[in-house]
C-alpha cells in the first residue's frame, strides 16, 4: 500500500487580491487529508472518500480509460475524472493497472480547509507531477492552498507573471495565545467569492499594493494591538473594495478585539484576535452560538 498526506490551509492575508499578485500570508493546518492506494487485479479504478468519522461520502468506479461506470455523485465523479485524465496526460505511466483509492479527511468537510486542494496535491504526489500545473489546469485559483499542502510552516505566497513564489517564514509572536479560529457554521463557496471579486471593474492595483504592505507589516509585528490594527485595516480595505459588510459589524460588534475574515466572506473560519482571557473568549463565542473555537497553536503547523 502507498500512502500520501496533504495539509489543509488557511489564508491570513491577501484573500481575493492574491489572485492578481498581492503578497499573502498563508498557513498549513494540522488537519488534512490522507490517500491510500492498493493495486487490484480487476482492471478498474475503485475510488472511495471517507469523512472525518470514517463514513463514506463519495464512491465511484472507472475503467482504465477513466470512463465512469458507477458513482454515488455524478458531478463529483466527473470532476475526479477530469483530474485523473490530466494526471495521465502529464504522466503516461500513471495508472497502468487497476487500483483502489481511499481518501480520508481528519476534519469536517464543511470547514473549508481544502478538500479539493488536498486531493489535487495527493494525486500529484502519486502521479509524480507538478501539483501547481495540475491545480491550475483543473481548478484555477491562486494556488496558495497547493503550496500549503506539502509545507509544514507558514508561508508568504505571491503570483508573479502567473508563476507561484513561495517563501517559508517563521511566525510565532509572543501573543500567539490570543489568536483563535472560529467556525461560523456556514459553508461558503469560495468560487462565488472569487467570481464576485473578478466582476469588479475597478482598477485593483491600489488594493494589491495595500494588501502586500499590510502582509509585510503583519509578519514583523510583535505587539498585539499593532497586529490587531493591521488586520482591522486589511478587513476594512477589502470590505470597501468588495462592498461586503465587515464580519465583526455583522456578527460580533461587541467583541473586545479584532475579527478577520478568512477566505470566502461570511462563512467558514474567522480569525479572532482577543484582548480577553481564553476562558472569556470561549464563553463569548459559545454564548453567540459558535462552538467550534480552535486556538491558533492547535490549528497551525509551524
Domain residues for the domain of 262 are 176-299
Residue 205: pLDDT band with limits 50, 70, 90: confident
Same domain, residue pair 242 and 98 = no
Q: What is the tens place of the pLDDT at every residue in 238-288?
A: 888 888 888 898 889 999 999 999 866 555 899 999 999 999 999 999 999
Same domain, 162 and 227: no
What per-residue confidence (pLDDT) applies to 197?
52
What residues pair up with 104 in beta bridges, in sequence order?
A: 34, 50
Task: List the CATH number of the domain containing 219.
Answer: 3.30.70.890
pLDDT band at 144 (very low <50, low <70, confident <90, very high): very high
Rounded average pLDDT over 144-166: 95
Residues 9 and 125 in one domain: yes
Choose among 27, 135, 143: nearest CA to 82.
Answer: 135
Same domain, 128 and 191: no
pLDDT at residue 203 tops 80 = no
Tell me the per-residue pLDDT of 261-275, one tens digit each, with 9 for 90 and over. 986 655 589 999 999
Check residue 186 and give its pLDDT: 66
14 and 129 fall within a common domain: yes
- What average pLDDT does this structure show over 80-87? 97
Whether residue 225 has pLDDT greater than 60: yes
CA dihedral (299, 110, 7, 178) in degrees, to 10, reads -20
The total number of structural domains that make up the chain: 2
The percent of residues in the chain predicted with pLDDT above 90, rounded, is 78
| Residue 260 φ/ψ, nearest 5 degrees | -120, 125
Instruction: Give yes or no: residues 136 and 198 share one domain.
Output: no
User: Among 152, 168, 184, where does a domain finish?
Assistant: 168
Mean pLDDT, the chain, whole residue set: 91
Domain boundary among 136, 168, 200: 168
**Cα end-to-end distance, the chain, whole Å:** 29
Residues 211 and 76 in one domain: no
Q: Are residues 150 and 235 in the same domain?
A: no
Distance set, CA 119 to CA 80, 90, 110, 146, 212 (Å): 9, 17, 15, 10, 29
46 and 112 share one domain: yes
Contact between 103 and 126 (Cβ < 8 Å):
no
More confident residue, 202 or 217: 217
Of 168, 200, 231, which closes a domain? Answer: 168
How many CB atoms lie under 10 A from the CB of residue 275?
A: 15
Confidence of residue 202 (pLDDT cuts 50, 70, 90): low
Same domain, 191 and 262: yes
What band does 185 get if pLDDT is binned at 50, 70 and 90?
confident
With cut-offs at 50, 70 and 90, classify the pLDDT of residue 33. very high
What CATH number is attached to the domain comprising 105?
3.30.230.10
Half-sphere exposure at residue 25, Cβ-oriented, CA atoms within 13 angstroms:
19
% of the chain surpassing 70 pLDDT: 92
Other CB atoms closer than 10 Å to residue 48's CB: what's the count? Answer: 17
Neighbours of 138 (CB within 10 A): 19
Amino acid at each position: 500500500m502507498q500512502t500520501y498526506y496533504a495539509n489543509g490551509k488557511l489564508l491570513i492575508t491577501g484573500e481575493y487580491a492574491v489572485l492578481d499578485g498581492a503578497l499573502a500570508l498563508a498557513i498549513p493546518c494540522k488537519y488534512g487529508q490522507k490517500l491510500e492506494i492498493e493495486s487490484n487485479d480487476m482492471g478498474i479504478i475503485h475510488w472511495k472518500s471517507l469523512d472525518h468519522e470514517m463514513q463514506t461520502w463519495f464512491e465511484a468506479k472507472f475503467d482504465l480509460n477513466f470512463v465512469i461506470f458507477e458513482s454515488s455523485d455524478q458531478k463529483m465523479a466527473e470532476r475526479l475524472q477530469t483530474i485523473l485524465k490530466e494526471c495521465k496526460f502529464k504522466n503516461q505511466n500513471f495508472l497502468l493497472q487497476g487500483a483502489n483509492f481511499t481518501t480520508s479527511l481528519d476534519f469536517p468537510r464543511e470547514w473549508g480547509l481544502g478538500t479539493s486542494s488536498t486531493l489535487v496535491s495527493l494525486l500529484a504526489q502519486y502521479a509524480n507531477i507538478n501539483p501547481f500545473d495540475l491545480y491550475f489546469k483543473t481548478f484555477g485559483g491562486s494556488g496558495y492552498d497547493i503550496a500549503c499542502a506539502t509545507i509544514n510552516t507558514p508561508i508568504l505566497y505571491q503570483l508573479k507573471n502567473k508563476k507561484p513564489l513561495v517563501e517559508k517564514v517563521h511566525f510565532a509572536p509572543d501573543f500567539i495565545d490570543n489568536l483563535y479560529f472560529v467556525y461560523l457554521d456556514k459553508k461558503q463557496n469560495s468560487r462565488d467569492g472569487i467570481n464576485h471579486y473578478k466582476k469588479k471593474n475597478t482598477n485593483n492595483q491600489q488594493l494589491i499594493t495595500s494588501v502586500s504592505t499590510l502582509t509585510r507589516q503583519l509578519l514583523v509585528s510583535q505587539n498585539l494591538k499593532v497586529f490587531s490594527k493591521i488586520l482591522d485595516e486589511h478587513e476594512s480595505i477589502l470590505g470597501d473594495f468588495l462592498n461586503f459588510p465587515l464580519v465583526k459589524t455583522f456578527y460580533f460588534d461587541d467583541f473586545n478585539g479584532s475579527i478577520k475574515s478568512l477566505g470566502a466572506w461570511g462563512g467558514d473560519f474567522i480569525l479572532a484576535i482577543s484582548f480577553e482571557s481564553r476562558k472569556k473568549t470561549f464563553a463569548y463565542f459559545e454564548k453567540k452560538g459558535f462552538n467550534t473555537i480552535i486556538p491558533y497553536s492547535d490549528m497551525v503547523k509551524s
